[in-house]
A = this chain, B = another copy of it.
Amino acid sequence: MTGPRFTKLAQTLPATVPFVGPEAQERARGEPFSARLGANENVFGPSPKAIAAMRDASSDIWMYGDPESHDLRYALAAFHNVGPQNIVVGEGIDGLLGYLARLLIEPGDAVVTSNGAYPTFNYHVAGYGGILHKVPYFNDAEDLPALLKKAGEVGAKLVYFANPDNPMGSWHTGGDIAAELDALPNGCVLLLDEAYVELAPPGTAVPIDINDARVIRMRTFSKGYGMAGARVGYALGQADFIRAFEKIRNHFGLNRAAQAGALTALQDQAWLEQTVAKVTASRDMLSEIAAKYELAALPSATNFVAIDCGRDDTYAKLILEGLVKRGIFVRMPFVAPQNRCIRVSCGPARHMALFDAALEEVLAEIG
């Protein structure tokens, strides 16, 4: 009795989990968190109209979703002033990152990212046998010139660049990024992860010719639109590039209610504006709380704030563990020097107050 013959690549891969979910931590703790501020979820939630659309669609869940996500894709095309052939909708940016890695990466291919940027991107690249080359952050921000230089040196097929960045919340202007594009090596694709861009100052989104096949942009309904649990993201790019996803994607992978919810959320831009205002207020609260304890909140263009705890990762981890023990779910960057920080999602005032009180206790405890 023998078992499966896994591919050479599958045999070498670890059974990695990019992130442990808060539910697993709650099960280990034996009680739920009182504030869920660790996964950059949008605690303010989606448009009530989007919730209503998902509730209504629950009754129709016996039907598969439209494999073309036609209505959502056309609405997104109109919204971005591009063609529907420039958009592919997928199971969150995570799902689309997997598809993109699959389209481009063969074992041994070079890929460039920042040291400490999105782990799920790294997971997918490693999962297709890509070799990751990592460039340090510069001033707590992803360093596009250094990334592109490295891409040239290693002959990278793909460069990952998040704007705004996770986990630091830093950002560049879209104009500055566009001006760097001339330095993109031939045959290298720039992946612009714009998951948080709806929450960033105007001008952060990169103005790129949709027919430029050197760049692919990813957006999501998980952050600004508050629908992380729905799993809807999309990629924007040149038509032939986008069409390649049709070769490999799970055509029936989208949840039908999620498609309806995303369409309605997109149509409720007034709610998004309210969300941006709430997030901005919460960022200010997080800065004030940090300052109260002589910690430094970093500027953020996202729905979270990296708080510099002022010492090393051991100290930041102590604070994080103290917060978690007190029922406040937060996370921290994985890599030095960013891991001198903890990362706290925005949320309503009562969650900010819970965080404040817990932080005060933790700091008093560890001295």
A→B interface (CB under 8 Å) = 1-10, 13-21, 23-24, 27, 36, 39, 41-46, 51, 54-55, 57-68, 70, 91-92, 94-95, 98, 102-106, 120, 127, 157, 186-187, 189, 212-214, 216, 222, 226-231, 238, 240-241, 243-244, 246-248, 250-258, 261
A-B contact pairs, 18 of them (CB 8 A): A3-B213, A3-B241, A5-B189, A6-B104, A10-B103, A17-B251, A19-B252, A23-B66, A51-B58, A54-B61, A58-B261, A61-B228, A63-B228, A63-B229, A64-B228, A64-B229, A94-B251, A229-B255
| A257 pairs with B241, CB closer than 8 A | no
CB < 8 Å neighbour of A7 from B14, B58, B104: B104
SS of A interface (majority): loop
In the complex, chain B residues whose CB is within 8 Å of the CB of A54: 58, 61, 257
Assuming the contacts A5-B187, A17-B67, asked whether A62 and B45 have C-beta atoms less than 8 A apart, the reply is yes
Taking the full assembly, how many copies of this chain does it contain? Answer: 2
State in angstroms the CA–CA spacing of A20 and B94 once bound together: 25
State in angstroms the CA–CA spacing of A20 and B228 once bound together: 28
In the complex, chain B residues whose CB is within 8 Å of the CB of A98: 250
Q: How near does chain B come to A120, taking the closest CB pair, in angstroms?
A: 8
With a 10 A CB-CB cut-off, give which of A6, A42, A92 has the most chain B CB atoms.
A6
Assuming the contacts A3-B241, A21-B67, A229-B63, asked whether A248 and B10 have C-beta atoms less than 8 A apart, the reply is yes
| B21 pairs with A68, CB closer than 8 A | yes
| A241 pairs with B4, CB closer than 8 A | yes
| A7 pairs with B103, CB closer than 8 A | yes
State in angstroms the CA–CA spacing of A103 and B9 once bound together: 8
Assuming the contacts A7-B103, A15-B244, A91-B91, asked whether A61 and B230 have C-beta atoms less than 8 A apart, the reply is yes
| A261 pairs with B61, CB closer than 8 A | yes
In the complex, chain B residues whose CB is within 8 Å of the CB of A243: 15
CB < 8 Å neighbour of A231 from B15, B226, B252: B252
Assuming the contacts A7-B104, A23-B68, A106-B8, asked whether A63 and B36 have C-beta atoms less than 8 A apart, the reply is yes
State in angstroms the CA–CA spacing of A14 and B247 once bound together: 6
From A18, which residue of chain B is reached at the shortest CB distance? B251
| B70 pairs with A61, CB closer than 8 A | no
State in angstroms the CA–CA spacing of A8 and B247 once bound together: 13
